[in-house]
Chains A and B, each alone.
Chain A
Amino acid sequence: MSNDTQAARTAETTAVENNARGGKFLTFSLADEDYGVEILRVREIIGVMDITAVPQMPEHVKGVINLRGKVIPVVDLRLKFGMEEIPYTEATCIIVVDVGALMGIIVDTVQEVLDVDAANVEPAPPLGGAVDTSYVLGMGKVRDDVKILLDIDKVLNDDKAYAVDED
């Protein structure tokens, strides 16, 4: 498995390096870091709402929400990344992303939609950061800040199984 993953990862990185992807990202904060998600992946942003817990789920899978009739599983990104869980504030939002199925990720705050130039995207350093580097598309430089651009597909890959089939 590791060989495959490593190979895939190397491919992804190369792809990233080769693609030097830019584009619009929705930035949010989590713990003290700023992250970004491709805007095309984002379906909707909502404030945090009641989450119906589902039994026998992993810890970071908080449960499901009812969004206009649709049942969407919600993942706490903090727990996903192994960070400390904090109580939800008024700023806490759920970003509904489309990773093949609709899933929600709970983030601390939602910031803005940023246009990141491809030239401003650096590859992730191999060590450091709280996030597994396979999840990271790159480091986006915006003004004075650096946003960790996430590959949300990779992030929620393991959890797709919990999503309700839309079809």
Chain B
Amino acid sequence: MGSMNLRKKLVVIGTVQLVLVAAVLMGLSFRKANENVRKQYVDKARSVVLTAEGTREQMGKKWDSGVFTAKQLRAWADDGKIDKVLQAVPVVTAWEAAMAKAKEGGYIFKTPKFDPRDPANKPDALEARVLRMFEKGNASEYFEYDPEMNAIRYFRPVRLTQECMLCHGDPATASTLWGRDDGTDPTGHKMENWKVGEIHGAFEVIQSLAEANAEIWASLAEDAGIMLVLVLIAGFTFYLATSRSVIKPLRHIIAGLTEGAEQVNDAAAQVAASSQSTAEGASMQASSIEQTSSALEQMAAQTRSNAERANQASELANNTRQMAEKGDQTMGQLDHAMTAINESSAEISKIIKIIEEIAFQTNLLALNAAVEAARAGEHGKGFAVVADEVRNLAQRSAEAARDTNRLISESVERAREGSQVSDSAAQILRQVVENVSQVADLINGISSASNEQAQGVDQINSAVATMDKVTQQNAAGAEQAAAAAEELTGMANSMRDQFVAELVRIVEGGQAPVNNGPQGDEL
């Protein structure tokens, strides 16, 4: 049974069940039929025996009514008409009546008895047992199936009546009844000294079950035949039903499961591959994060030193600006000095101008004097000399004034130059101050930018750390995914190899190959 395919199994099981049910039913009906037959036979036997007993009783009544008397019987016995004597015996009439119709009635009538006068009535084992049972108890009937004879044997005990005493009673009466002195009845048998009411022997009806059995068997065979047909039909129906409702869907399911397992395998392979690439990517990411992290460290160090340097530069710039401002102040002082010089120079120049004018006027005066002196002729010669001297003086004054003017001019020029220089120096200083201010601003900007940069680098650092964690998580997740994919593959494979194969084995029967499913739908 183990190597049959599912359909065969189901069909077999179904039909076997059907057959079993039918067999049980048939068995029950067989038994019932047997019982019925036995009951019928028992009833039949009972009625036969009852009729026999009735016959006996009627004969007894004839005796009671005087149809038969002992005198009569003696007379016949004396005549030697033993058969007539016997015919007057009720029980003999009874069994003769019964036996007469035995063949036609389809039964055997017997009268077993212990120590029978007729040796044909010697009881066999069964009859002996029943007789003993009747003698012990008060059973009015007994029946039993005798397997040896294959017959129902029905017994009713024979109870002695008064009439029976004539031949079976006290032997002492033999002489009175029959005129015999040896205690024998007219048949020559010794009177047994039985009493009325004693049970001696039984009426037995034996009915062979052979015919009935044959009938039953025939009916059974008929039923079996019908059942066989029905079972075949049912089996075919089963076959169809299981094919359509069980095998086909199962095959479908097997195919689906196999395909599903394949798909799961494929998907798991894809997941494994993508997990692999994710893991690789994650490890690459991790290494690049490492690089980024170290680069950030460097950058942070750079930024810090930048900020420090910026601070130093800022200090320097501030110092420079202070010095430039001081220089500016000094320039201002210089400017004031210059201005003072210029003012006093201007004053001196004014005075010089006056002196020059005086010299000029004096010159003119001298010239006029010379003119007058010339016009005076001889008298004016002395005057001409004086005029000349005055003119000389005037010229000297003019020269001195010119020299002084020149000097003043020069010094003014130098002062102006100095002022210019100081102006340009002041301008330069102001420029320097401005530049330094700008530089200081720039440096402040650099400093704050460096600070921000440092903050940013810190943020980046923490972000990188987070990224690192995330990458690790990714890698772990990818590993888990790969492991899960492996498990999945394993499960899919085991499903395919174990369960689907088992299913195939169940459906197709026998040793189905472990690694393949059914090739297509075999239905």
Contact = CB atoms under 8 A, between A and B. Distances in A.
A113 B370 contact: yes
Interface string B359-386: 0110110011011001100000000000
A161 to B, nearest CB: 26
B360 A40 contact: no
Contacts of B46: none
Contacts of A93: 364
A113 B371 contact: yes
Interface stretch (A2-10, A42-50, A71-79): A42-50
A39 B361 CA distance: 19
A113 B373 CA distance: 11
Contact of A24 (B357, B368, B374): B374
Interface string A19-41: 00000101000000000000110
Contact of A90 (B357, B374, B391): B357
Contact of A40 (B361, B364, B375, B391): B375
Interface string A100-141: 000000000010110000000000000000000000000000
Q: Is the interface of A mostly helix, strand, loop or mixed?
A: strand
A113 B364 contact: no
Interface in B362-414: 363-364, 367-368, 370-371, 374-375, 391
Contacts of A90: 357, 360
A112 B391 contact: yes
A113 B388 CA distance: 9
Q: Is the interface of B mostly helix, strand, loop or mixed?
A: helix
Contacts of A91: 360
Given A90-B357, A112-B391, A26 B371 contact: yes
A112 B363 CA distance: 9
Interface size grouping (class) on chain B: 10 to 19
B86 to A, nearest CB: 218
B367 A113 contact: yes
A140 to B, nearest CB: 16
B367 A26 contact: yes
A47 B371 contact: no
A29 to B, nearest CB: 14
A47 to B, nearest CB: 6
Contact of A112 (B357, B360, B367, B374): B367
Task: Pick the most buried of B368, B371, B375: most chain A CB atoms within 10 A of its CB.
Answer: B371
B374 A46 contact: no
B152 to A, nearest CB: 189
Contacts of A40: 374-375
Interface in B428-442: none
Nearest to A47: B364
A47 B391 contact: no
B357 A39 contact: no
B364 A110 contact: yes
B364 A45 contact: yes
Given A24-B374, A40-B375, A46 B364 contact: yes
A47 B375 contact: no
A26 B366 CA distance: 12
B374 A113 contact: yes
Nearest to B391: A112
B133 to A, nearest CB: 195
Nearest to B356: A90
Interface of A: 24, 26, 39-40, 42-47, 90-91, 93, 110, 112-113
Given A24-B374, A91-B360, 5 more contacts: A26-B371, A45-B368, A93-B364, A110-B363, A112-B391
Interface of B: 357, 360-361, 363-364, 367-368, 370-371, 374-375, 391
The 10 closest A-B pairs by CB, nearest first: A113-B370, A39-B374, A42-B371, A45-B367, A24-B374, A45-B364, A45-B368, A44-B368, A39-B371, A110-B367
